[in-house]
Structure 1
Amino acid sequence: MSGDNYYFGDSVTMNGGRGNTGMVKNQAPPAAESASPELEAAVRELVELVRELRAGVPSASARAIDDSLPDITADPAVPPQERHRALMAVAGIAATVGAVGQPVVEAVNRVLALLGS
């Protein structure tokens, strides 16, 4: 059985400085996950409500909202802890403005429920 080659993981082939093939990763990319349609709709609604809320808050709160919005997404590639941090930041700002922010707090809670948080 000599000559049988089995490759698991990375493989590098060097041929005396000529014909080098480089590193063969032998790894499949992770399967593309997609968010549920319900989550995508809830995130769209939340982002719309947050943009409306942003116009009525102090500039420091508006900057915090601006910093949080990129992480409020249905994209599975966003680290869950970053998404959760952004959602909680927005909910905190919304809670401080009273009744005007209540729809945002409710939308954040819907997104968190859909994420299983």
Structure 2
Amino acid sequence: MAEGNHYGDRVNMIGGFGNKGIVHNHPAPQQQPTLEEALRTVVALMRELRAEVPSEDRGSFDEALPVLAADEATTAPPVRRRALLTVAGIAAMLGAVGTPLLDAARAALELLGVGG
């Protein structure tokens, strides 16, 4: 075999039995959630973290919850966008405890075409 650049797999199997050849174990690409799935995650995290929200911000937080939990057909994207931005801002103020909610809100905003 000539020396030089080689790209790809090179396998030499000499002897043995029960050889399987090359087995590539690549993880399946992660499927991006739908907007509805992302919003369900946001709503679930909001319910978990509500007690952590300062009382002065709890009204805005509570107003965003039904908007994000509503059926897609009944809520306009700009309304959801504003609610998600509110939730993301409050989650950011919560620090480490709010990080999962902030990440979920950002993911939902990306699915709405905001950020990225």
Q: Give yes or no for TM over 0.5.
A: yes
Q: Secondary structure at the match of 1:70?
A: helix
2:90 counterpart of 1:93: yes
Greater relative contact order structure (CA < 8 Å, 6+ sep): 2
Alpha-carbon offset, residue 87 of structure 1: 0.4
State the number of aligned residues: 81
In structure 1, C-alpha distance between the alignment counterparts of 2:36 and 2:79, rounded to whole Å: 17
Give the TM-score, by structure 2 length.
0.63
In structure 1, what is the Cα distance between the partners aligned to 2:72 and 2:100? 23
1:103 to 88, 100, 103: 100
- How far off its partner does 1:76 sit? 3.4
Structure 1 unmatched runs, 5+: 1-36
Q: Which runs of 5+ in 2 are unaligned?
A: 1-32
Instruction: Specify the SS of the correspondent of 1:72.
Output: helix
Given candidates 70, 77, 94, the residue that maps to 2:66 is: 70
Residue from 47, 50, 56 that aligns with 2:46: 50
Equivalent-residue separation in structure 2 for 1:60 and 1:89 (angstroms): 13
The percent identity for this pair of structures is 48
Q: Which has the higher strand share?
A: 1
Structure 1-normalised TM-score?
Answer: 0.62
Look up the match of 2:10: none
Deviations 1:36-72 (CA, angstroms, capped at 9, x unpaired): x722211111101111111112222221111111221
In 1, the alpha carbon distance for the partners of 2:110 and 2:103 equals 11
